[in-house]
Chain A
Amino acid sequence: MNSRERPSPSMLEAMREIGEVAVMRAAEGLSTLLQKKVDISVSHATVVPLKALFGLFRGMDSSMAVVQLRSYGEGFKGAMFLLLQYSQSYRLAQLATGGTVTADFLNDQYYRSSLQEIGNIMCGCYLNEFAAATDRQIMHSAPQLTTAMLGTLMDSALEGMGEGCDDALLLETVFTLGGDQCEGMLLFITTGSVLDDLGRESPLSSTKKEQGI
């Protein structure tokens, strides 16, 4: 996708559909993992220019926990992030482990690992749906959890991703675990040429119809 063009309506629709199916699968996965009822909804989905994203995140100085998966395949590179405000990461770790989480929980390997696995499932489900929708085989790295100011994190995370990557998909999500809620954001960055494949058709419509979504 050329940076001077904005995403077509069909591309936006396809990316939202992928997001909806992915969070449904992620909710199923997390329910199994955590042995409790988990719902995840996408409250807002949008595609934003990467340059705008840099500016947006540089302006944010709040402490964040970010789970990152690098993805790759033939003619493809990308990265997927689960972004959590510090307070939300605390809440999610507490809900996931069912334990008493201390204030320095992000220095504790067990709690860090619980957030990594949640991010792994969230991001992995999106990448799997994206791979199916674009008929690609996509592999991804082990999840990495980093904590810092968001602007700093994103500068580091997006290093090397800029060339050929014009846009990013932002999915604002709400987790509901056993009646408690917390919020996060999924961010997907890939090369524009890959996103172009989504604009040609809405590949998940038949899947969603089959599943009654």
Chain B
Amino acid sequence: MKSRILVVDDAIFMRRMISDILLSNGMEIVGEAETGVQAIDLYKELEPDLVTMDIIMPEMSGIDAVRGIIASDPRALIVMCSALGQQSLVNEALEAGAKDFLIKPFNPSRVIEVVQNVLGLPAGISHGDRED
């Protein structure tokens, strides 16, 4: 079964980039959100295996969205997507319950490495090859 991912970023360019990286490694993009509020709603509706979450977004920040998701599902797996120089925000997000973070702009292999690790999958195996 493929890992089901929810991609959250206010920039469609970045959402498409993340989605392309994950899709090419056998994962399924079950939804995309461009605000923190949408992310919380879609998480409840779609129950994805993992969320990639931008930090700076209009309306509601990614950190507040993490808090909202964790409040409804403490076991949620969330990977933050941070720009350079936002280390203090990354720390805040990790304290809020995010599992790991990626620095923009993304290196595709790093994206896969982090997502695989957070999902608890062995490195180097396409997610489409999971046996569960």
Name A's B-contacting residues (CB within 8 A). 25, 29-30, 32-33, 35, 97, 109-110, 113-114, 116-117, 120-121, 124-125, 127-128, 131, 137-143
Name the A residues within 8 Å of B104 (CB-CB). 29, 33, 121
A117 & B106 in contact (Cβ 8 Å cutoff): no
Report chain A residues within 8 Å CB of B106. Answer: 32-33
Closest to A121 in B: B105
Q: How far is the CA of A80 from the CA of B4 in the complex (A)?
A: 37
A117 near B14: Cβ-Cβ < 8 Å: yes
For residue B17, give the distance in angstroms from its CB to the closest CB of chain A. Answer: 7
Tell me the bound Cα distance from A139 to B106 in angstroms: 20
User: In the complex where A113-B13, A117-B11, A142-B57 touch, is A25 in contact with B105 (Cβ < 8 A)?
Assistant: no
The reply to whether A116 and B11 contact each other, CB–CB distance below 8 Å, is yes
Interface of A is mostly: helix
Interface residues, chain B, CB within 8 Å of chain A? 10-14, 16-17, 56-58, 83-86, 88-89, 104-108
Contact A124 B84 (CB under 8 A): yes
- Known: A113-B12, A142-B56. Is A33-B17 also a contact (CB below 8 A)? yes
**CB < 8 Å neighbour of B13 from A35, A114, A141, A142:** A114
A143 to B9 alpha-carbon distance, docked (Å) = 12
The complex places the Cα of A156 from the Cα of B91 at a distance, in Å, of 34
Contact (Cβ within 8 A) A120 B83: yes
Q: A113-B12, A113-B14, A141-B56 are in contact. Are A30 and B84 (CB under 8 A)?
A: no
Q: By the criterion CB–CB under 8 Å, are B83 and A124 in contact?
A: yes
CB distance from A184 to the nearest CB of B (A): 17
Q: A30-B105, A142-B10 are in contact. List 14 more A-B contacts (CB 8 A).
A: A29-B105, A32-B106, A33-B17, A35-B108, A110-B16, A113-B12, A121-B104, A121-B105, A127-B85, A128-B84, A137-B88, A138-B85, A140-B56, A142-B58
Q: Is the CB of B13 within 8 A of A110?
A: yes
| Docked-complex contact B13 and A124, CB < 8 angstroms | no
A-B contact pairs, 26 of them (CB 8 A): A25-B84, A29-B84, A29-B104, A29-B105, A30-B105, A32-B107, A97-B13, A109-B12, A110-B13, A113-B11, A116-B13, A117-B13, A117-B14, A120-B11, A120-B83, A124-B84, A125-B84, A127-B85, A128-B84, A128-B85, A139-B89, A140-B56, A141-B56, A142-B57, A142-B58, A143-B11
Bound CA span A35–B58, Å: 27
> How far is it, in angstroms, between the C-alpha of A186 and the C-alpha of B78 when the chains are bound?
34
In the docked arrangement, what's the CA distance between A157 and B108, Å? 35
A197 to B109, CA, bound (A): 40
A124 to B108, CA, bound (A): 21
Contact residues in A for B108 (Cβ distance below 8 Å): 35
Q: Which residues of B contact A143 (CB under 8 A)?
A: 11
A145 nearest CB across to chain B (Å)? 10
Which residue on A lies nearest to B15, using beta carbons?
Answer: A113
Nearest residue (CB) in B for A110 is B12
Q: Which chain A residue has the least Cβ–Cβ distance from B10?
A: A142
